[in-house]
Amino acid sequence: MDGYIMIGQFPVQIKWTFIFLSVLAAYGTLFYRLRAERASKQILDILTNSLMLFILVWKLSYLFFSPLQTFKAPLNLLYFNGGNKGVALGMVIVLLYLIRVSKKAALPREKLFFAITWSIVSYYFFLRCLHFILDKSLYDILIAVVSGAILIYLSKIRSESIKVSISSLLVLSLAFTMISNLSFSKVQLDKNDPDVHKTSAIEVGKRAPTFKLQDLRDREVKLSSSKGKTVFVNVWATWCPPCRAEMPEMDRFYKEYKGDAEILAINLTESDSKQAVLEFRKEYGLDFPILLDPDGEITEIYKAVTVPTTYIINEKGIITEKHVGPMSYEMMSGYLND
């Protein structure tokens, strides 16, 4: 889910738009559910504070887990987060906060726990519904059906016991585990579809346009030479702040996974310069191949409207993802392991 919409000149990933809308919808349904409760405002305030605390910890966890990279490039905090480890840390901090505040506010724990359960289940219901509208994925509709059924159950029962909340979350977790173990290919390719064999269409699921460019040592590098590996075709420029932020992360990834993956960083040399790129590479100590596109020809073919933009190409030469914006080490590892 790495498509994007443009707001002015800024790309906003669709997945973050969907997350925001799902959080709002979950909050609205919880507000409606608690409308007759005396402690409704107090519970809503606690959950709102929990969400803000989680986002803050998750965002700043990059500093905790990558102190050296943050020290070298403080602007990384604007573009990256702690990833899955940051999510885990945020959940622990929020749990400690909820335990403390529930004692201090003298709230019935079963009501607070029920509100949390309702929020989680309804969030996933709305999120998977939105994803299904865009992707038509069987995975999304199955999760939406399960979470929707749990919501109906929670709306019908009169008891708000902790036992009910825990059992509901366990059912949702079990559904995630079982459904995730099924095979849902992100890229559906029809072998009889002639578009699969074209090299001019830039879309996920189609063959990546081939190219050959010169590197900083004036050697010719071809995309086809990397066949058999996962290739990250990255379009960037030295004057682009997000590009500067992602380069150390990409180099860290390249050094660890260069046996399984390749990075071809195509510089917008038409608006940059070879000398600037040479100085940039020396400053950051980059090892992965940097290619020059002095005429902007390859950049135009790949339709890179915003920089940085990265295309992930599988071992067969098919584009599996398009990522707009800077990439962290964890993001790239995730794409490689998908």
- Residue-wise pLDDT for 225-255, tens only, equals 888 899 999 999 999 988 998 999 999 999 9
Radius of gyration over every alpha carbon of the chain, rounded to an integer in angstroms: 23
> Which residue carries 């073919």 as its tokens?
301
Q: What is the average pLDDT value for the chain, to the nearest integer?
A: 85
- Decide if pLDDT at 193 tops 70: no
- Decide if pLDDT at 76 tops 50: yes
Looking at residue 280, what is its pLDDT? Answer: 94
Buried b (16+ CB within 10 A) or exposed e, 158-190: eebeeebbeebbebbeebbeebeeeeeeeeeee
Residues whose CB is less than 8 angstroms from the CB of residue 160 and which lie 6 or more positions away in sequence, other chains included = 110, 111, 114
For residue 254, count other CB atoms closer than 10 A to its CB.
20
Which pair of tokens denotes residue 240?
């682009």
Looking at residue 188, what is its pLDDT? Answer: 41
Give residue-wise pLDDT tens across range 24-51.
999 999 998 888 777 788 889 999 999 9
For residue 16, count other CB atoms closer than 10 A to its CB.
11
Looking at residue 4, what is its pLDDT? Answer: 55
284 close to 292: Cβ distance less than 8 angstroms = no
292 close to 221: Cβ distance less than 8 angstroms = no
Looking at residue 5, what is its pLDDT? Answer: 57
Looking at residue 47, what is its pLDDT? Answer: 92
The average pLDDT across 177-191 equals 59
133 close to 181: Cβ distance less than 8 angstroms = no
Q: Sorting pLDDT into bands at 50, 70 and 90, what band is 262? A: very high
Helices 14-33 and 40-65: angle between axes, nearest 10 degrees: 150
208 close to 307: Cβ distance less than 8 angstroms = no
Looking at residue 286, what is its pLDDT? Answer: 94
Looking at residue 69, what is its pLDDT? Answer: 77
- For residues 172 and 166, what is the distance between their CA atoms, to the nearest angstrom? 10
Q: What is the pTM of this model?
A: 0.71
Looking at residue 214, what is its pLDDT? Answer: 94
Looking at residue 217, what is its pLDDT? Answer: 93
What is the percent of the chain with per-residue pLDDT over 90, rounded to a whole number? 49
Q: Does domain 194-337 have CATH number 3.40.30.10?
A: yes
Query: Domain limits of the chain?
Result: 4-180, 194-337
The average pLDDT across 179-183 equals 72
Cα–chain center distance at 96: 26
Looking at residue 216, what is its pLDDT? Answer: 95
Give the strands of the sheet with 230-236, arranged side by side.
Answer: 220-222, 212-215, 290-292, 261-267, 230-236, 309-313, 319-324
Q: Whats the size of the chain, residue-wise?
A: 338
- Decide if pLDDT at 8 tops 60: no
